[in-house]
Amino acid sequence: MSIADCLAWLRGEASFARGVHPPTRKSLAADQPIEILPPPAMVTVPLQQHAGAAARAICPPRSRVEVGSLIGQEDESAAVSARVHASLAGRVQPLVGVTLPNGRHSLAVPIAGDEVHSRTNAAEPQGIDWFARLYGGSWHVEDQQRYFPRDIRAAVQQAGIVGLGGAGFPTHLKLLPQATRPAHTLLLNGCECEPYLTADQRLMVEAPAAVVTGLLLAQKAIGCERAVIAVEENKPEAIAALRGAVEQLDDQGRTTVRVCQTKYPMGGERQLIPAVFGLEVPTGGYPLDVGIVVLNVATAAAIASAVLRGHKLTHRVVSISGEGIREPKNLLAPIGTALSELIAACGGLADDACRVIAGGPMMGFAVTDLSVPLTKGTGGITVLTRRQLAASEQTACIRCGRCLDVCPLGLAPTRIAHAVRHGQLELADQYDMMACCDCGCCAYVCPAQIPLVQYIRQGKAQRLRRTD
């Protein structure tokens, strides 16, 4: 056990075995209040922003849409799919193919926005205050008590809500009670353990009542007895804000806020569940196998906004941070906004900016084309500088065993990567390659700079292609 782990244990913080402690670099954007991005001239809204089947475009070119208009109907023939809505008022353009922040491809609906003067009104001459509409104002105990579980699930489905933590699983399916595997606990994940990213942190600080209201609605829809909100100890303001909101809104006292050690990858559900409950999710299984449903804090806020205020999932908070950004910020932006617009709203790239990453530096994806659109699951953009990337070159494995020591799933990263490099997928399977959660801890500590996680991702992609 490291000194950091011992101290966390003494402080009573929830933790898990292994993992790493990269510099968090949160201070760049953690104190920046959420800003509303002015409506861009154009958005490009992907039809495949979620796990499962893509949505089907339903608006012909030249159709007029408002923010929240349905533009992509879920594929009803598929078990898993989700709706997509317009995030800008304007006219639909012909469908285009786009690359997503995670490198995958999708058809997308471009929308050319109205003139700026028609995006405002007398009450909001500076533009619509989306933060106030979605998450601001007062939230009351009685509000969420009015809704039945089926109404909550229907509103979530109609709003096209999917996991905003990145996985993108349609949330209405997560809220369905399972007769054979009932959930006893809802775990709200507020750890946001990736370095630099602060979108969830700001949402917890600035909209704690919306987060807790969404949690209580989700708990009711699932029918579970209790809820736990897990937050890393490096976010004391968020912890205090959430505790205040729980006291105000949870009249049955079934929700607790659990402080977790600041450690990577605490936000991974396979690490968070053992840390908070001491339960192991079986390899190849799901949290529900141990009676737990996990939601992200931003997903909870979106649930509150959809059920109580009728808003569709058209905007999200995204942090734009890193030493390669001139003015790191947290922006509330329309889904489908080009990453270049988000970066421009933050003063642009620094002179020595070198790599743009969709997500954080540990699990994110390098982006080369900044026209890539913001998706529901993109919580952050990180820009690193040339100096940060000027690390030493890759060398041969020195068999130091560090990658084994830190893998939170107890895998043998070097063996899996070696098997993939030599085309031995069956051997990689024997080492449990598919259990890898892509956390990147192994590559982070490797003194030989071997891109272990990239090899493992490659192997998993090859395995999935062969299975198809």
Chain residues that interact with ligand SF4, rule: CB under 6 A: 397-403, 407, 409, 411, 413-414, 436-442, 445-448, 450, 452-453, 456
Closest to ligand SF4 by CB, 358 or 446: 446
Closest to ligand SF4 by CB, 338 or 439: 439
Tokens representing residue 97 in the block: 């193919």
Instruction: Give min distance, CB of 225 to ligand SF4, in A.
Output: 31
Q: DSSP readout, 442-457?
A: HHHH-TT---HHHHHH
Instruction: Give min distance, CB of 184 to ligand SF4, in A.
Output: 27
Q: How many CB atoms lie within 10 A of CB 41?
A: 14
What is the rounded CA–CA span in Å between residue 178 and residue 176? 6
Closest to ligand SF4 by CB, 304 or 450: 450
Instruction: Give min distance, CB of 206 to ligand SF4, in A.
Output: 32
Instruction: Give min distance, CB of 110 to ligand SF4, in A.
Output: 36
Instruction: Give min distance, CB of 17 to ligand SF4, in A.
Output: 12
What is the rounded CA–CA span in Å between residue 156 and residue 147? 12
Closest to ligand SF4 by CB, 358 or 450: 450
Closest to ligand SF4 by CB, 109 or 441: 441
Sequence-distant (≥ 6) Cβ neighbours of residue 301 within 8 angstroms: 134, 135, 203, 207, 210, 211, 214
What is the rounded CA–CA span in Å between residue 327 and residue 344? 10
Instruction: Give min distance, CB of 269 to ligand SF4, in A.
Output: 13
- Report which residue type is found at 451: P
Point out which residues pair with 186 in neighbouring strands: 227, 293
Q: How many CB atoms lie within 10 A of CB 121?
A: 10
Closest to ligand SF4 by CB, 168 or 440: 440
What is the rounded CA–CA span in Å between residue 62 and residue 44? 14
Task: Print the SS3 string covering 379-444.
Answer: CEEEEEEHHHHCCCCCCCCCCCCHHHHHCCCCCCHHHHHHHHHCCCHHHHHHCCHHHCCCCCHHHH
Instruction: Give min distance, CB of 363 to ligand SF4, in A.
Output: 9
Closest to ligand SF4 by CB, 207 or 409: 409
Among 370, 456, 462, 468, residue whose Cα is nearest residue 418: 456
Instruction: Give min distance, CB of 322 to ligand SF4, in A.
Output: 21
Give the 3-state secondary structure of residue 187.
strand
